[in-house]
């Protein structure tokens, strides 16, 4: 657990042929120092997402190896699916987990992008924390044009790739590489069955409506439990920690006399976000991650 | 971080000769799979404490290797010091850190004890969670008699060792081996400068005076900060978690209108205890340690 840990979550444009998906996953699993956490696919989107972690060097290796396999096996000229995409390996985000900053992950994105252009002749666009221009910060600005249109428009200066010549790979298109914070899926269930209240709280808590930065929130019904839920995506817990979200939801619930029944973290969470929450509630001063015995091995 | 992690904290009867202490520490450091966390010595006690962690197999190896070195280099017949002791390697506690129970650590104590008797001819007493009889649960009952007296009394049935013949090793005496929970040193600083209040709270919180089980507490003055402190040792946070201690101290402080300024963890803490505290304050339901990304590598 010591040292720098990075998560990499590449998206590939194949969600139907098991032998192709397995070959791509296999190329990740065979990469030394990389731990495969998950992979899932969607037949309608014709798309696959692979999640793995490791040291900075290992995850770059895993990203390059799986991209190589995708370029070899996926031909975008024969690809159909509902999800917008521009490449066989479509998006590669690097995500800081431990001992590494978002800015360092942007540097990894550049290292990875340079290798992918040199070794696979895939043109590269950088997005989010790795974006070279403000209009490429948002992934959808770069990717939603789709492979077929980009084939032509890549020649216009505003669509020039950040790495490589303004010409797509004949079968594999282009790739969007970037760095973004870890996304935490976090829900708060309320002692209340009125969906209007959950929606009102969600609206006050989310960034889009004047709430907390980095918080996306929806009100949902948990019919089988007679409860409602504020269902959230926390897109940057370094800036906006989990405890602040909990406390604001509770404060907004108070005007209805509603209290929190329980919270849930769906899927994974980096240790640093959990530690920060413990530190807040315990009023813990001067605590360092290295004091956690388990991190010493 | 995955898998079973055990801490081992052997005490050796040498705190004056650097070359002996270094040779013992070196034997731990050379043990494969073991990570040395700390070692310290006390000249008046003529005693040294070494702390290391690793897999169950690795820590047994480290305990046996360092015991071997201590038996080779320390002669109790020439040992003086204020601290009670019965052996060159005096006490060996095994402490669960992650993925392992106290009961399993007691089994490790037995494995270690059998090897130490077989390989080094040191008679072994088991204590705390590894005690074979109730009167040996408490370390001081076993150890405070001292080497010189035990040489004679080992022949009386109530002093028979748990492993080996009723006869001490001619130079290295005997050893006490056991399993105990991790000890967390935890302080709560109060917005208050009256030491009487800190002492009154400490007395209500500690087990000895009708407070929480597994809590030892003292009131202290932090003169330079104009504050007082409830200074605690939490000897079993599996049974009595940190959050319960925080909440009881706050509840007892309330009668004086005193609030907590901050808390501190002195030294190390197992991840599980911190996670449990976060779970309580977040009202987190259904959370598993495996959801912490950093534990997956």
Q: What is the pLDDT of residues A233-292, one digit of tens each?
A: 999 999 999 999 999 999 999 999 999 999 999 999 999 999 999 999 999 999 999 999
Q: Does one domain contain both A169 and A112?
A: yes
CB A6 within 8 A of CB A95: yes
Q: Does one domain contain both A121 and A197?
A: no
Q: Does one domain contain both B223 and B140?
A: no
Show which of B179, B202, B220 is a domain's final residue.
Answer: B179
Show which of B159, B179, B199 is a domain's final residue.
Answer: B179
Give B54's contacts in chain A (Cβ within 8 Å). Answer: 297
∠ CA(A206), CA(A212), CA(A217), 5° rounding?
25
**Is A79 part of the annotated catalytic residue set?**
no
| Contact yes or no for B270 and A278 at CB 8 A | no
User: In the structure, what pLDDT confidence band is assigned to residue B3 with cuts at 50, 70 and 90?
Assistant: confident
Give B283's contacts in chain A (Cβ within 8 Å). Answer: 260-263
Of B267, B269, B284, which is closest to A265 when you measure between CB atoms?
B284
Q: Does one domain contain both A169 and A204?
A: no
CA nearest B7: which of B37, B41, B29? B37
Q: Does one domain contain both B127 and B199?
A: no
Q: Does one domain contain both B281 and B228?
A: yes
Burial per residue of B6-30, b for 16 or more beta-carbon CB atoms within 10 angstroms, e otherwise: bbbbbbbbbbbeeebbebbbebbbe
CB A137 within 8 A of CB A176: no
Q: Does one domain contain both A12 and A108?
A: yes
pLDDT of residue A2: 61
pTM: predicted TM-score of the whole model, two decimal places:
0.88
Q: Does one domain contain both A242 and A170?
A: no
CA B269 to chain centre: 12
Q: Does one domain contain both A107 and A202?
A: no
CA nearest A240: which of A267, A204, A271, A205? A205
Q: Which two tokens stand for residue B39?
A: 């070692």
Who's near B143: CB < 8 A, 6+ residues apart? B84, B85, B86, B90, B91, B127, B176
Who's near B79: CB < 8 A, 6+ residues apart? B13, B14, B46, B85, B147
Mapping DSSP to helix (H, G, I), strand (E, B) and coil, where does residue B41 land? Answer: strand
Q: What is the pLDDT of residues B37-73, one digit of tens each?
A: 999 999 999 999 999 999 999 999 999 999 999 999 9
* pLDDT, mean over chain B: 96
Q: Mutate which of A32, A62, A222, A292 to disrupt the B interface (most B C-beta within 10 Å)? A: A292
Q: Which two tokens stand for residue B24?
A: 């013992």
Which value does ipTM take for this structure? Answer: 0.86
Burial per residue of B250-281, b for 16 or more beta-carbon CB atoms within 10 angstroms, e otherwise: bebbeeeebebbbbbbeebbbbbbbbbbbbbb
CB A252 within 8 A of CB A198: no
Q: Does one domain contain both B144 and B237?
A: no
The CATH number for B40's domain is 3.30.990.10
What's the total number of domains in chain B? 2
The CATH number for B243's domain is 3.30.70.670
pLDDT of residue B2: 61
CA distance B32 to A234: 41
Q: What is the pLDDT of residues B210-266, one digit of tens each?
A: 999 999 999 999 999 999 999 999 999 999 999 999 999 999 999 999 999 999 999
CB B243 within 8 A of CB B274: no
Show which of B145, B179, B213 is a domain's final residue.
Answer: B179
User: In the structure, what pLDDT confidence band is assigned to residue B82 with cuts at 50, 70 and 90?
Assistant: confident
CB B220 within 8 A of CB B228: yes
Give A246's contacts in chain B (Cβ within 8 Å). Answer: 282
Residue A109: Cβ within 10 Å count: 29
Q: Which two tokens stand for residue B291?
A: 């959801």
Q: Does one domain contain both A162 and A202?
A: no
Average pLDDT over residues B82-109: 96
Give the distance between the most distant pair of CA atoms in chain A: 61
Of A269, A277, A291, which is closest to B292 when you measure between CB atoms?
A269
Q: Does one domain contain both A59 and A79?
A: yes
Q: Mutate which of B274, B281, B287, B289 to disrupt the A interface (most A C-beta within 10 Å)? A: B274
CA nearest A269: which of A296, A297, A234, A225? A234
Which of A41, A45, A83, A169 is an active site residue?
A: A83
Q: Which residue segment(s) compose the domain that B193 sits in?
A: 184-293
């Amino acid at each position: 657990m010591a040292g720098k840990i990075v998560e990499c979550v590449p998206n590939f444009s194949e969600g139907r042929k098991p032998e192709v998906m397995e070959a791509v996953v296999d190329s990740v699993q065979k990469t030394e120092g990389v731990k495969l956490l998950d992979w899932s696919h969607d037949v309608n989107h014709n798309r696959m997402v692979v999640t793995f972690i490791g040291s900075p060097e290992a995850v770059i290796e895993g990203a390059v190896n799986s991209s190589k396999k995708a370029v070899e096996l996926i031909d975008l000229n024969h690809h159909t699916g509902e999800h917008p995409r521009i490449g066989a390996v479509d998006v590669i985000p690097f995500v800081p987990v431990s001992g590494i900053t978002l800015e360092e992950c942007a540097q990894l994105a550049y290292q990875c992008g340079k290798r992918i252009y040199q070794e696979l002749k895939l043109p590269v666009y950088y997005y989010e924390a790795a974006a070279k221009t403000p209009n490429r910060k948002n992934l959808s600005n770069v990717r939603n044009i789709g492979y077929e249109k980009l084939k032509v428009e890549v020649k216009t200066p505003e669509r020039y790739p950040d790495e490589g010549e303004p010409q797509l790979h004949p079968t594999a298109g282009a790739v969007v590489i970037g760095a973004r914070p870890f996304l935490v899926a976090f829900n708060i269930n309320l002692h209340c069955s009125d969906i209007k209240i959950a929606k009102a709280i969600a609206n006050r808590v989310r960034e889009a409506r004047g709430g907390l930065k980095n918080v996306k929130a929806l009100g949902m019904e948990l019919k089988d439990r007679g409860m409602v839920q504020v269902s959230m995506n926390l897109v940057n817990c370094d800036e906006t920690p989990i405890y602040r979200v909990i406390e604001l939801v509770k404060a907004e619930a108070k005007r209805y006399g509603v209290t929190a029944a329980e919270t849930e973290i769906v899927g994974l969470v980096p240790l640093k976000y959990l530690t920060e929450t413990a530190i807040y509630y315990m009023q813990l001063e001067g605590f360092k991650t290295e004091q956690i015995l388990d991190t010493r091995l």
